[in-house]
Structure 1
Amino acid sequence: MADQGQDPSTIKCLNVPCCLFCPFLPHMTFTPEPSLTVSARIFLSLGSLSGCASVAFSAAFAHLPVFAAGVPVMVQTALTQQQFHSLGLVIVGLSCFCLGASRWLLAAGWLMVAGLLLFSFNLYARHVLGFDAFRALVPWGGGAWLLAWLCLTLGFASAAARKTAA
């Protein structure tokens, strides 16, 4: 909420000027925020790249003649999970920028990356390339994702606790 006489362009919500999204203040400009933190940049980049890869893999599986007989259900599951957790990485990156990179948010991000490697990319290697050496690690990828979402929850809870304590 703005104080009496406060310039509306200086009001901020989650480090983003409110006027950026306000349809009633189209004449307002805002000063760009400082650059993204390293952790935010890493997780936003990895999430975006993973999302791009999932779209590319989906297109390849749908259109390449090699996969004309169909794609195994395991690969479809890997694609779906990759898409969800790519968005999860983007959420972690935005959270690191808006709330600060707490140990819980950093753990959530790296656990999501580990889950992508151990689950999705492991299943792609197994079913597409026939590389079966790391088959036993697939459940560890799912476990990493479960822990990642729990860490993200704790990251949000600790940020809320810090804000109410201040």
Structure 2
Amino acid sequence: MQTFVVLGSILMVLAVAIGAFGAHIMKSKLAPDKLKIYEVGVQYHITHALGIILVGLLAAHNPDVGMIKAAGWLLFAGIVLFSGSLYVLSVKRARFLGPVTPLGGLCFMAGWVLLALGVMQA
């Protein structure tokens, strides 16, 4: 489905930009432990943006399998919640976001499970 390929591509551009920002600007401003948190956010962002592109390609060939589309939205939610919270936690003292990160991880896991089930259903 075109929506997920476009969304995943936009998320990849953002991931590369955020990663470059971290490598060139934030590296000198963050403590090493905070930089590691930031880098983990980028790593998961890139991985799951590619997953969203994969979802789009699979959804295009299996448009009637709702689980595949749901997987894409869960991966997107995971990027926002997991990577987004790590980005903020690395630069701000926003402890209230601590519980958000695992919710993003659950979205990632649920998205991959739904993708597998959707492909098996196709």
TM-score normalized by the length of structure 1: 0.66
Aligned residue number for residue 92 of structure 1: 55
Corresponding residue pairs, total: 119
Q: Larger helix proportion, structure 1 or 2?
A: 2
CA–CA separation in structure 2 for the residues paired with 1:57 and 1:90: 19
CA–CA separation in structure 2 for the residues paired with 1:84 and 1:107: 18
TM-score normalized by the length of structure 2: 0.88
In structure 1, the gaps of 5 or more residues are: 1-39, 160-166
In structure 2, the gaps of 5 or more residues are: none
Structure 1 residues 67-82: aligned runs within 5 Å: 67-68=27-28, 70=32, 72-82=35-45
> 1:83 and 2:46 equivalent?
yes
| Residues 1:101 and 1:116: Cα distance change in structure 2 (over 3 Å) | farther
Aligned residue number for residue 117 of structure 1: 80
Q: 2:21 aligns with which of 54, 60, 65?
A: 60
Q: 2:119 aligns with which of 156, 159, 163?
A: 156
Which protein has the larger Cα radius of gyration, Structure 1 or Structure 2? 1
Identity across the alignment (%)? 30
- Residue 67 of structure 1: CA displacement? 2.8
The RMSD of aligned alpha carbons is: 1.6
> 1:44 and 2:5 equivalent?
yes
Aligned residue number for residue 126 of structure 1: 89
